[in-house]
Structure 1
Amino acid sequence: MAFIALGINHKTASVDVRERVAFTPEQLVEALQQLCRITPSREAAILSTCNRSELYLEQDHPSADEVLAWLASYHNLSLDELRACAYVHQDDDAVRHMMRVASGLDSMVLGEPQILGQMKSAYAVAREAGTVGPLLGRLFQATFSTAKTVRTDTAIGENPVSVAFAAVSLAKQIFSDLHRSQALLIGAGETITLVARHLHEQGVKRIVVANRTLERASILAEEFGAHAVLLADMPQELANSDIVISSTASQLPILGKGAVERALKLRRHKPIFMVDIAVPRDIEPEVGELDDVYLYTVDDLHEVVAENIKSRQGAAQAAEELVGAGVSDFMQRLRELAAVDVLRAYRQQAERLRDEELGKAQRMLQNGASAEDVLAQLARGLTNKLLHAPSVQMKKLSAEGRFDALAVAQELFALDEGSDKSAQ
C-alpha cells in the first residue's frame, strides 16, 4: 500500500503549462476511470484549479512514472516537459501535502479558504466516478478534519486575503475612487462571487455580471445589487466598464483583442483595468499589448499577494504544527488498521476453540459429571488449545535462531521478567 500525491502548481509551472494540464469538470469522471484502468492506481482523485492540477492515488506499490506518463499522454504533453515541473510525494509526505493544500498552506495566497471546498468537490467527483475506496476515503476525511482544525484554532484565515481580494486591491491602486467605477465581472462562480463581495465592500455601485447562463448571473447580481447579462452582451458593457475581472471554466478565450479595441474607441481611450484569474485564460494575451489596458493574470498578482500574506505568517507556524499532528495521527490509525485482519482471524480461531471446549463441557454435564470437574476440564482444555499453536511456533522460532521474533512475542503477550521468574 502506498499513497501518492503528484502534480504541478503555481510554484513549479507557468500559467501556460497549468492551463494545458487543467481538467475540465466534464473530463474528470472519465479521466479518473481511465487513470485507474491504465495505471496501477487502485484509488484516485483529481484536484484541478487555476493554480494546481494534482492527482491523489493509492497503489499497491508506488509507481509515479506510469502516472506521469498517463498524465502527459492525456493532455498531449511531452513527458520531459511535464517531469520538469511536476512533483511527487509518497506516503507520509503525500498525506502532509494533502493536508497542507486543504489548509491553504500551499496556496498562492496563504490561508485562502476556497481550496478546501475545491478539494471536497474533488472527493465528491471521485466518489461519483467510483475511484475512491476505503483508504483514500479515510485520507480525505482526515484531511478535511485537519483543515477544519487549522481554520478553527489559528488566525490563518482571519484577514480577507485571496486572489479575488488581491485583484480588488490592485484596482484600488489604479483607480483612486472606486465609487465612480463600473466593474464587469465575467463568470458567476466562487471566485467571481468573492470579487463581487470585495468590490461591493469597497463601495463600487455599478457592477455587471456576465455569464453563459442568465439565471446564475442573476442570482449573483441580486446578492450585490448588480446587473446580470449574457456573455453575448459583453461588448456593449465593456465600453462602459473601468474594471474587468474574469474567471470562467471556458477552454478558449472569450474576450479578444478586437472586442477590447472597439471598446477603447468608444471610451475615447479611457483606461481599462483587467484581471484574468481563469486557467485556461479567458482574455487573449494580446489584449495586454493595447495602450490604455492594464491586463494582469493570476501570476501577476504575486506581489500584491506577498504584501497581504504577511499578516498570516505568524499563524502559519501554528498551522504547520497542527498539520504535523494530523499526519502523525492518521498514519498511526492507518498502521492500527493493518492489524485488524489479523485480530479478526485470531478472534475467530479463539471463538472456535472456545465453542469446541464448551461443547465438550456440556456433554460431560449431560453424562452426569460434577460441575466442579466440568469447569476444571473446560479451563484446562481451553488453556491448552489457546497455547498450543503459539507454543509450537515459538519453539520453531527458537530452533531457527530467530530470537528477535521471540522478543516480539514476549512483548505481544506482555511477559515481563518477573512473570518469567515466578513461572520458574
Structure 2
Amino acid sequence: MTLLALGINHRTAAVAVRERVAFTPAQLEAALAELRRLPRVHEAAVLSTCNRTELYCVTEPSGESVILDWLGQFHGLSIDELAPSAYHYLDHEAARHLMRVAVGLDSMVLGEPQILGQLKDAYQSAREANGLGGELELLFQHTFAVAKQVRTRTGIGQNPVSIAYAAVSLASRIFEDFARSRALLIGAGETIELVARHLRDAGVRDMIVANRTRERAEVLAREFNAEAISLNQIPEALVRSDIVISSTAAPLPILGKGMAERALKQRRHRPIFMVDIAVPRDIEPEVGDLGDVFLYTVDDLNEVIQENRRQRQAAAEQAESLIEHGVHVWQHERRVRSSGELIRRFRDTAAEVREHSERQALARLARGENPEDVIRMLAHQLTNRLLHRPTVAMREASGGERHDLLDAAETLLLDIPSSKKL
C-alpha cells in the first residue's frame, strides 16, 4: 500500500481555482464516501481551507491519477484545468508534507496556529465517515505529536500571526483613524472570531457580526460587545460600515456588485475597505471594480505575511529538524506494524496448510492405513505446500535478476536450524 497526499494550495493555484476545488462542510461526508468507493483507495481524509485542498489517502500503487480524476469530476473541473496546479507526495514525503502543514511551515502565514485545528477537524470528519484505517490513524497521531513538540520547543507559535491578523493589519494601514472605524464581519467561525479579537486589540470597538445563523452571531457579538444581524440585513449594515471582512463557508457570493453600489450611493461614496478571506469567495470580484471600494482577497495579503515569515524563519529551521525526526519515528513504527501484519498473514497461511494436511492424514489413519506411510505423506505434503510459493518466487527473481530478493531469501530461508540442533 502507498500513502498519498494530493492537492492544491496558495502557492500552486490562484483563489479562482482554489474556490472551485474547496469542499464545503455539507459536501465532506459525501466526498469521503465517494473517495472510499474508488478503485485502489482504502483510506481517505480531506483537508479543505481557504488556502488549500488536500486529500490524504492509502492507495494501491499509482492511485494518484484515479484520485486526481475524481477531484476534478467532483468539482466539475477538467484535468487540463486542475493538473497544472496539483501536486502529490508519496509515503515518507507525504508524511513529511502533512507534518509541515500541521505546524504551519507550508502556510501562507508561517507558523500560523489555525491550521492544526483545521487538520484535527479533517481527522475527526474522516473518522466519523469511516475513512480512517490503521495507516492514516498512525500518521495523524504522529503528526499531532510532532505539532505539539514544535509548538512547545520552538518559538514558531509566539506572537501569532494569521490570515485574520494580516487582514486587520492591512485595514489599519488604510485608515488614519482606524480605531474609530466601524467593521462589518460576515461569518461567525474561528477566523472571524480571530479577526474580531485583533480588531479589538487594535482599538476598534464598533463591530457588526452577520451570520446565516443569528444565534451564532449573537454569541460572538456578546463576547466583543458587537451588534448581531442575519445575512439578509447586510445591505443596511453595509451602508454604516467602513471595513468589511468576510469568511463564511457559503458556496455562492454573499455580497454582490449591485449591493455595494447601492451602499456607496447612500454613503455619499465614502470608501469601504473589504477583505474576502473565504474560499469560495464571499464577495463578487466585480465589487473591486467600483471606485470607492478597496477589495482584497487572501492572495493580496502576501506583503503582510512575508514580514511574518522573516521573523519566524529561525523557529522554522528548528521545526524542520523536529519534523525529520518525526518522519523517521513514523517510518520505523510503520515498518514494525507492516512486519507484524506480514508475520500474521504468513502464520495464518501456514496454519491453513497444516490444518488441511492434518485433516487428510487423520482421514487416512481412520481408514486404517499404515501410520508410517501417513506420516511420510504428511511430511512430504507439508514440505511441498510450504515451499512451493517461495520456490516459484526465487525462480522468477533469478530470471529477472532481482538479486536483492535472492539475498533476502537466503537470509530468511537457509538460516534454519538443522535436525541435529533441534
Shorter-chain TM-score above 0.5: yes
Separation (CA, whole Å) in 2 of partners of 1:164 and 1:11: 19
CA distance in 2, matches of 1:267, 1:13: 36
For residues 209 and 70 of structure 1, the distance between their equivalents in structure 2, rounded to whole angstroms, comes to 37
Partner of 1:96: 96
- Does 1:66 find its partner at 2:70? no
Q: Which residue of 2 aligns with 1:50?
A: 50
CA contact (8 A) 1:58 1:135 kept: yes
Give the Cα–Cα distance (whole angstroms) in 1 for the partners of residues 117 and 186 of structure 2: 21
SS of the aligned residue for 2:274 comes to strand
Within the alignment, does 1:180 sit opposite 2:183 as a pair?
A: no
In structure 2, the CA distance between the partners of 1:291 and 1:110, relative to structure 1 (3 Å rule), is: same
1:81-101 Cα distance to aligned partner (Å, 9 max, x none)? 211110010001001111111
Q: 1:199 to 1:338 in 2, by over 3 A?
A: same
3-state DSSP class of the match of 1:339?
helix
Contact 1:39-1:67 within 8 A present in 2 as well: no
* 1:275 to partner: Cα distance: 0.2
- Is 1:334 the equivalent of 2:306? no
Shift of residue 341 of structure 1?
A: 3.5
What is residue 127 of structure 1 aligned with on the other side? 127
1:243-392 equivalence runs, <5 A = 243-341=243-341, 343=343
Task: Give the direction of change, closer, same or farther, for the CA distance of 1:266–1:62 in structure 2 (3 Å limit).
Answer: same
Contact residue 32 and residue 126 of structure 1 kept, 8 A: yes
Q: Distance in 2 between matches of 1:406 and 1:33?
A: 41
- Of 161-170 and 338-347, deviating more is 338-347
Deviation at 1:347, TM superposition (A): 8.7
Closer, same or farther: CA 407–187 of 1 in aligned 2, 3 Å: same
Question: How far apart, in 2, do the equivalents of 1:411 and 1:277 lie?
Answer: 64
3-state secondary structure, aligned to 1:105: coil
Report the CA distance between 1:61 and its aligned residue. Answer: 2.1
TM-score by length of 1: 0.83
Q: In the alignment, which residue of structure 2 is the partner of 1:225?
A: 225
- Which of these residues, 404, 407, 410, is aligned with residue 404 of structure 1? 407
SS at 1:42 equivalent: strand
The aligned residue for residue 85 of structure 2 is 85
Three-state SS of the structure 2 residue aligned to 1:8 is: strand
Structure 1 residue runs of 4+, over 6 Å off?
345-350, 399-403, 410-413
For the residues of structure 1 that align with 2:74 and 2:346, how far apart are their CA atoms?
46
Q: For residue 222 of structure 1, report the CA deviation from its aligned partner.
A: 0.9
More deviation in 14-23 or 59-68?
59-68
Residues 342/223 of structure 1: CA separation in 2 closer, same or farther (3 Å cut): same
Whole-Å separation in 1 of the counterparts to 2:283 and 2:346: 64
* Secondary structure in 2 matching 1:62: coil
- C-alpha distance 263-97 of structure 1, shift in aligned 2 (>3 A): same
Contact 2:113 2:160 in 1 (8 A): no
Q: How has the CA–CA distance of structure 1 residues 61 and 293 changed in structure 2, closer, same or farther, with 3 Å as cutoff? A: same
User: Residue 8 of structure 1 contacts residue 54 of structure 1 at CA under 8 Å; is this kept in 2?
Assistant: yes
Q: Which residue of 1 aligns with 2:355?
A: none
Unaligned segments of structure 2, at least 5 residues: 352-382
Structure 1 counterpart of 2:313, one-letter code: Q
CA distance in 2, matches of 1:322, 1:7: 24
Confirm or deny: 8 A CA contact 1:253 1:284 kept in the other structure: yes
Q: Tell me, in whole angstroms, the C-alpha distance in 2 between the residues paired with 1:272 and 1:22.
A: 28
SS of equivalent to 2:26: coil
Most deviating of 58-67 and 269-278: 58-67
d(CA) in 1 for partners of 2:166 and 2:142? 31
1:38 and 2:34 are equivalent in the alignment: no
1:381 match:
none
Report if aligned partners of 1:4, 1:62 keep a CA contact under 8 Å in 2.
no
Aligned residues: 375
CA distance in 2, matches of 1:282, 1:99: 30
* Partners of 2:24 and 2:347 in 1: CA distance: 49
Question: 1:372 corresponds to which residue?
Answer: none
Checking the alignment, whether the CA contact within 8 Å between 1:112 and 1:157 is kept in structure 2 is yes
CA RMSD of aligned residues (A): 2.6
Deviation at 1:38, TM superposition (A): 2.3
The residue matched to 1:70 in structure 2 has which SS? Answer: helix
2:95 counterpart SS class: helix
Q: CA deviation at 1:60?
A: 2.8
1:342 shift after superposition: 5.0
Whole-Å Cα distance in 1 between the matches of residues 114 and 226 of structure 2? 23
Deviations 1:234-258 (A, max 9, x none): 1121111111000011111111111
Q: CA deviation at 1:66?
A: 1.1
- Equivalent in the alignment of 1:354: none
1:138 counterpart letter in structure 2: L
Whichever residue aligns with residue 9 of structure 1, its letter is N
Q: CA 1:133–1:409 in structure 2 vs 1: closer, same or farther (change >3 Å)? A: closer
| Residue of structure 2 equivalent to 1:215 | 215
3-state SS of 1:27 partner: helix
Alpha-carbon distance, 1:409 to partner = 5.0
Q: Whose Rg is larger?
A: 1
Match in the other structure for 2:374: none
